[in-house]
Chains A and B, each alone.
Chain A
Amino acid sequence: MKVLVAVKRVVDFNVKVRVKADNTGVDLTSVKMSLNPFCEIAVEEAVRLKEKGVASEIVVVSVGPATAQEQLRTALALGADRAVLVESNDELNSLAVAKLLKAVVDKEQPQLVILGKQAIDSDNNQTGQMLAALTGFAQGTFASKVEVAGDKVNVTREIDGGLQTLALNLPAVITTDLRLNEPRYASLPNIMKAKKKPLETVTPEALGVSTASTSKILKVEAPAARSAGIKVKSVAELVEKLKNEAKVI
């Protein structure tokens, strides 16, 4: 079966971002960008399904600027077969991205769509669920285990109190949680081979999708800084402070 994986170019998770002085957003000029960590897990899961003989083809798709080609090439180097970039320089909301992905799903007809559970920039945790709603597919969010069995997929999900297992009819949408797998590194020969793999570029207009949104960001501020703390010398001093100064125990 065909697997579609959606990936996002985001600021690298190790970068401590700074808010712009004019409060219009965070400063992303000359900051290292990477594949969103949850998307990496999604690519890895698709590649493992292919290695098990479950998946026959992996198509990786990204919605973003032309530079997102770098992240698509990374996914190709990790084992995806071909890539689609929906090129847009606008900051798109999750619903707009889900609508664009729906258009790609309609065209590609995958049996399984895998996304990360959230992007570490917007922290929205919406796109997979929205795509499932638009396509009418079942959803297996926050997956820590995925097993395809015939025309169904069993998904073990991380929920607040522990784990839950669902059986979903295919086609289905799955979003990955951290513990689903440990992504591999791309080897140098695979990075070279990835340069020759097909990468198609389309636009939202060509897909006939409106990216209008019902919300806008008015302002982005730095969080309130915590006042500097003190170092105590002993456990006895710590207990004394907690009892008499902070009064929390």
Chain B
Amino acid sequence: MTILVIAEHENGAVAPATLNTVAAAAKIGGDIHVLVAGQNVGGVAEAAAKIAGVAKVLVADNAAYANLLPENVAPLVAELGKGYSHVLAPATSNGKNILPRVAAQLDVDQISEIISVESADTFKRPIYAGNAIATVQSNAAVKVITVRATGFDAVAAEGGSAAVEAVAAVHNAGTSAFVGEELAKSDRPELTAAKIVVSGGRGMQNGDNFKHLYALADKLGAAVGASRAAVDAGFVPNDMQVGQTGKIVAPQLYIAVGISGAIQHLAGMKDSKVIVAINKDEEAPIFQVADYGLVADLFEAVPELEKLV
């Protein structure tokens, strides 16, 4: 068995989710090859070659693969994928965008967001917003799978010495073009990779009040998240949303502030190791999943917490 892992990368570096995906590949067993597609990605390929357990790195460096447009990248992955037993990608927005297109071109079902590997053909994945866990078996010649990063401990980013091989194939469908992007600026750790996450909900009342959470987060070295209610109310940008329709996190510590705990939010954070809830409504559903609950006014509790940690 040989497994192809599609690398996630940003700003010329390998994104952490790639390391979790390689870990899932290692659980399946067999040789692991990593594909780095993009434009000017030589540095990323070199970094990918150092990932522990990687046997070979394929690098497809071409203007057609800039910004990872799925119309161009999916045919490349489908063509390469035919020679592999498994094709894996992290369940990031790129992975989710590209891989189903690959699966359809290979005429196989895709298995989305696995959280465990039972055997080389059997996997577990959450359904119904995490309220049920399905065990799925695939008999596809090429098993096409996205991996939920929080389900697997990352492999070491250093220690490997894989050979780097260039892929000459160029696919350019010419049906789509990149116009621009607007990225949220943040000095704090990335939400899905942070060890501690502090999240605010509708109870924050406005965007300005998130400063209390930022102060607490900076003291803890934490990332700041939000519930859908806080995003929809315009308090914070939507890339901060934690939930079924936002990001899935599983940090060591998750502090939910002014969040009631709707099903869709819990789907994004209930695998956190320790959950703390601060809410003035003692009936809030968040207290049913919280390890430590504090019934208090967040505007008093959060500044006090910031002083004491």
Contact-residue bracket for chain B: 35 or more
A188: CB under 8 A from chain B?
no
Q: Which single member of A126, A172, A248 contacts B196 (CB below 8 Å)? A: A248
A162: CB under 8 A from chain B?
yes
Whether the pair A242, B274 counts as a contact (CB closer than 8 A) is yes
Contacts of B162-182 to chain A: CB distance below 8 A: 173-182
Q: Which residue of chain B has the shortest Cβ distance to A168 in the bound complex?
A: B176
Whether the pair A229, B292 counts as a contact (CB closer than 8 A) is yes
Whether the pair A220, B127 counts as a contact (CB closer than 8 A) is yes
Q: Closest CB-CB distance, A9 to chain B, in whole Å?
A: 15
Q: Closest CB-CB distance, A162 to chain B, in whole Å?
A: 4
Q: From B40-48, B56-64, B81-89, B101-109, give the one contacting chain A.
A: B101-109
Whether the pair A216, B132 counts as a contact (CB closer than 8 A) is no
Which residues of A have CB within 8 Å of B99? 129
Q: Which residue of chain A has the shortest Cβ distance to B306 in the bound complex?
A: A235
Contacts of B98-145 to chain A: CB distance below 8 A: 98-105, 107-113, 122, 126-140
Q: In the complex, A154 Cα to B135 Cα: how many Å?
A: 39
Q: In the complex, A221 Cα to B133 Cα: how many Å?
A: 5
Q: In the complex, A19 Cα to B305 Cα: how many Å?
A: 39
Q: Which single member of B67, B71, B244 contacts A123 (CB below 8 Å)? A: B244
Given contacts A125-B100, A166-B177, A223-B126, contact A133 B182 (CB under 8 A): no
Whether the pair B176, A167 counts as a contact (CB closer than 8 A) is yes
Most buried by A among B140, B253, B276: B276
Q: Which residue of chain B has the shortest Cβ distance to A139 in the bound complex?
A: B70
Q: Which residue of chain A has the shortest Cβ distance to B140 in the bound complex?
A: A214
Given contacts A13-B263, A238-B276, contact A231 B175 (CB under 8 A): no
Whether the pair A231, B133 counts as a contact (CB closer than 8 A) is no
Helix, strand, loop or mixed for chain A's interface? Answer: mixed
Which residues of B have CB within 8 Å of A93? 109
Contacts of A158-176 to chain B: CB distance below 8 A: 158-169, 172
Q: Closest CB-CB distance, B306 to chain A, in whole Å?
A: 10
Which residues of B have CB within 8 Å of A177? 245
Given contacts A231-B295, A232-B292, contact A239 B137 (CB under 8 A): no
Given contacts A158-B238, A235-B296, contact A26 B104 (CB under 8 A): no
Whether the pair A239, B309 counts as a contact (CB closer than 8 A) is yes
Q: Which residue of chain A has the shortest Cβ distance to B102 in the bound complex?
A: A133
Which residues of B have CB within 8 Å of A196? none
Which residues of B have CB within 8 Å of A124? 110, 112
Q: Which single member of B110, B180, B252, B293 contacts A165 (CB below 8 Å)? A: B180
A178: CB under 8 A from chain B?
yes
Q: In the complex, A57 Cα to B289 Cα: how many Å?
A: 47
Most buried by A among B133, B176, B247: B176
Whether the pair B128, A232 counts as a contact (CB closer than 8 A) is no
A206: CB under 8 A from chain B?
no
Whether the pair B179, A133 counts as a contact (CB closer than 8 A) is no
Contacts of A132-181 to chain B: CB distance below 8 A: 132-134, 136-139, 141-142, 144, 154, 157-169, 172, 177-179
* 0/1 interface trace, chain A 105-134, chain B, CB 8 Å (1 if under): 000000000000110111111111111111
Question: Contacts A121-B128, A141-B70, A220-B127 given; 17 further ones with Cβ under 8 A?
Answer: A19-B132, A26-B132, A95-B104, A95-B109, A120-B129, A123-B128, A129-B96, A133-B101, A159-B181, A159-B239, A215-B136, A215-B137, A217-B135, A218-B137, A220-B134, A222-B131, A223-B131
User: Which B residues have a C-beta under 8 Å from some C-beta of A?
Assistant: 10, 67, 69-71, 74, 92-94, 96-105, 107-113, 122, 126-140, 173-184, 192, 196, 220, 228, 231-232, 237-239, 244-245, 247, 252-253, 263-264, 270, 273-276, 282, 287, 289-296, 301, 304-305, 308-309
User: Which A residues have a C-beta under 8 Å from some C-beta of B?
Assistant: 11, 13-14, 16-17, 19, 26, 93-95, 98, 117-118, 120-134, 136-139, 141-142, 144, 154, 157-169, 172, 177-179, 213-223, 226-227, 229-236, 238-239, 241-242, 246, 248-249
